[in-house]
Structure 1
Amino acid sequence: MKSFCYRKKKYSIDPNGFVTKKSPSNIALIKYWGKHQNKIQIPLNASISYSLEKVYTETRLSYSMKKRKRNLSIKVFFSGKEKTSFTPKILEFFHRILFYCSYLRDFNFIIETYNTFPHSSGIASSASSMSSLALCIMEIEKKLVFSLKKDFFFKKASFLSRLGSGSACRSIYPGLVVWGRHQYIKGSNNLYAIPYPYQVHPIFTKMVDTILIIDEKPKKILSSEGHQFMNNHPYAKKRFKCANKNMEKLISILKIGDLQEFGELIEHEALTLHAMIMTSRPYFLWMKPNTINVIHNVWDFRIQSKKNVYFTLDAGANIHLLYPIQEKESILKWIYSDLFSFCKKIIESFCL
């Protein structure tokens, strides 16, 4: 987007400094899986997610002005240790955004970051890390452009985040966030995310998300690779059509507050995502035996208790349990008594 391009040459900024930003992970209700070939991070269907409290990345971006222009200079530290394996992806991200943030060429950078949850395990760590980094970059731009408007700040942060990790663009905003053009969602587009613009029933504004960590290890196949397997997937077109239809259904569900329809829809979306993963070429499986055990326990408990607890998964083995805050006490008690044995750890969070 040319309107995001910035080419100011003389800066009124301290030559050395740092900025710090925190950004949440998010859990998609309608899943983004598959992107246009030969285009950078453009989704093939619209998606919507909740941003999550207590599940976040905090990033400190230190900068020092160069005496002369050289290649991009970036060091990356994760949880206090230099992480050279992260550097190529960060460099690729910086190169992608240089046209929109040309001032980055004039600084050396040190990135120090940590998560409150395991990275690369299917809890959208790239979403929170890239969005927090994009927010840091925009904070530097704010120092350079005093007239930067708040709306533009977040819109461009979302735009930049997308170029690092598609779902990262949704982590810029709290609450329900939409990314990807959908004919029934005003303002939705493929270049950046927007806060969900329509009426939401109060029941969906106070949802709990309890995350069951089934497997803490980094995934053998990362989401960025998995997206590529959709390019020649025999069921891809049907999947994109189904996802957009589910988004249309969700608009009505969110308005009227139908928890049962909400739960059935997000579970269907999660299982559809994993069905696409299992039927791609090459095919693979992110679910673990305890993922299946938890899913069956959720179904049984829901029938017996009549409680409104529903699961969803992103691209990994770990499970998110979503339920209204009004039912938190009894459901949380059941989670610790019946599901704890299937998990490495449990993270209690809320949908922001």
Structure 2
Amino acid sequence: MTENDFLPIQYDNLPAEGKVAWKAPSNIALVKYWGKKANQIPANPSVSFTLDACATTTTIFFSRKEDDSQFSFDLVFEGEPKEDFKPKIQTFLERIEIYLPFLKSYHLKIETSNSFPHSSGIASSASGMAALALCLMDMEKMMNPEMDSDFFNRKASFLARLGSGSACRSIEGDLIQWGEHQPIVDSSNLYGIKYPFKVNTVFKNFHDTILLVHKGQKQVSSSGGHNLMHNHPYAERRFEQAHEHLDSLKAIFSEGNLERFIEVVESEALTLHAMMMTSMPYFILMKPDTLQIINKIWDYRKKTKTPICFTLDAGANVHLLYPESVKEKAIQFIQDELVAHCENGHYICDRIGTGARKIG
């Protein structure tokens, strides 16, 4: 599909007012998307687990207005007006107007909240933009009731990407691939797709316990971090590596090879942070406790042969990944060894989810 496939038909029915609400999960990339081109096009393909508990819930109350010359919206985040979020929403609406031309005909009251700390490396922009895109698509579906669910999800992923690249991986579950990759026939830079190859059952009930090392604002936004890949001395080799790892995962997922899975996932996490440390300007997003946790995971895995591993987003928090079969051991390990490195002892127990869902 191309961008033109998402241009709308003529709307026959513009409702006077209404309400839509969606809950969209975050996701955790296994092969990382890092670096982008114009219009939120990824510099390399990625694949992610869709999460479940870490999610954004968004409700839009919409009402027709007479002046359709500009966008009109209010934004309430976790019960409070959030003026500093509004420019990002304004930019998003400007990007998607061609695909949803009814937007200026309505005043939108957007109410949104997260189940996890904002801007701390748990992809809040992914779940937030996915939930917003789904609400707006729900409005379009009211005007085009014949729209089928496959097109609805694909266009929602396409629109979400224009707000936050990784948001396109938060529409569906449980394993989502995004970005053109020649061996994956339907892969696209425009939207995420369900991973099309065989996946062993061991990966179907995976857990992700997020160790909250630092809940505060990150040193650099994800968008700023992506821009540092332009003219990065190691960028091209990194992009090649992402394709190679995606190729490796086909057999790993099919065979249920946890040892190789761990190697790829941890390598990807460390590569992401290595690229930040070798950019200009350079950043160290990990904290001392991040490194303590990583070393304890390595020691524990070596001593017990328990297949747990870590991954990281662009922040200090650690995602501890493990299969259902070792859940009790992993939780005990967290409580005995890792919780001491979490801010106020806080961590979030999450697992692979099935994607976003409509509320009400």
Same fold at TM > 0.5: yes
Q: Identify the residue that residue 24 of structure 2 maps to in structure 1.
A: 23
Q: Distance in 1 between matches of 2:5 and 2:283?
A: 41
Q: How does 1:1-352 map to 2 (within 5 A)?
A: 1-6=3-8, 8=10, 10-13=12-15, 15-36=16-37, 39-344=38-343, 345-352=346-353
Partners of 2:12 and 2:143 within 8 A in 1: no
Q: Distance in 1 between matches of 2:80 and 2:14?
A: 32
Counterpart CA distance in 1 for 2:74 and 2:198 is 44
Deviation at 1:10, TM superposition (A): 4.5
Q: 2:20 aligns to what SS in structure 1?
A: strand
Secondary structure (helix, strand or coil) at the match of 1:209 reads strand
Segments of 4+ moved more than 6 angstroms: none
CA contact (8 A) 1:5 1:102 kept: no
**Corresponding residue SS for 1:349:** strand
Q: Gaps (5+ residues) in structure 1?
A: none
- 1:169·1:192 contact (CA, 8 Å) conserved in 2? yes
Give 1:34 shift.
0.5
Unaligned runs of at least 5 residues, structure 2: 354-360
Partner SS for 1:270: helix
Residue 40 of structure 1 aligns to a residue in which SS? helix
Relative to the length of structure 2, the TM-score reads 0.96
Percent of matched pairs sharing the same residue: 47
- For the residue of structure 1 that corresponds to 2:338, the secondary structure is helix
Q: Which amino acid is 2:126 matched to? A: A
In the alignment, the residues of structure 1 paired with residue 65 and residue 253 of structure 2 have an alpha-carbon distance, to the nearest angstrom, of 50
Checking the alignment, whether the CA contact within 8 Å between 1:120 and 1:219 is kept in structure 2 is yes
Q: Which amino acid aligns with 1:26?
A: N
Question: Cα deviations across residues 131-182 of structure 1 (Å, max 9, x unaligned)?
Answer: 0000000100110001011100000000000000000000011100000000
Shift of 1:7: 5.3
SS of residue in 2 equivalent to 1:312: strand
Q: Give the aligned residue type for 1:189.
A: S
Rounded to whole Å, the distance in 1 between the matches of 2:32 and 2:71 is 34
Q: 2:348 corresponds to which letter in structure 1?
A: I
SS of alignment partner, residue 215 of structure 1: coil
> How many residues of Structure 1 are paired with residues of Structure 2 in the alignment?
349
Residue 224 of structure 1 aligns with an amino acid whose one-letter code is S
Query: How far apart in 2 are the matches of 1:9 and 1:305?
Result: 61
TM-score under structure 1 length normalisation: 0.98
Separation of aligned partners in 1, 2:201 and 2:11 = 48
Contact 1:7/1:102 (8 A) holds in 2: no
Q: 1:312-348 deviations in whole A, cap 9, x for unaligned?
A: 0011000101001010011111101111110021100
Measured at CA, do residues 95 and 12 of structure 1 come closer, stay the same or move farther in structure 2, by a change above 3 Å? Answer: closer
Distance 1:311 1:247 in 2: 18
Q: CA deviation at 1:9?
A: 5.1
Contact 1:58 1:114 in 2 (8 A): yes
Could you tell me how far 1:12 is from its partner in structure 2? 4.5
Cα pair 2:21 2:58 within 8 Å, conserved: yes
Deviation digits for residues 64-109 of structure 1, max 9, x if unmatched? 1012313101111110000000000000000000000001111011
Q: Deviations over 1:27-51 (max 9, x none)?
A: 0000000012xx2100111100000
8 A contact 2:45–2:178 mirrored in 1: yes
RMSD: 0.9
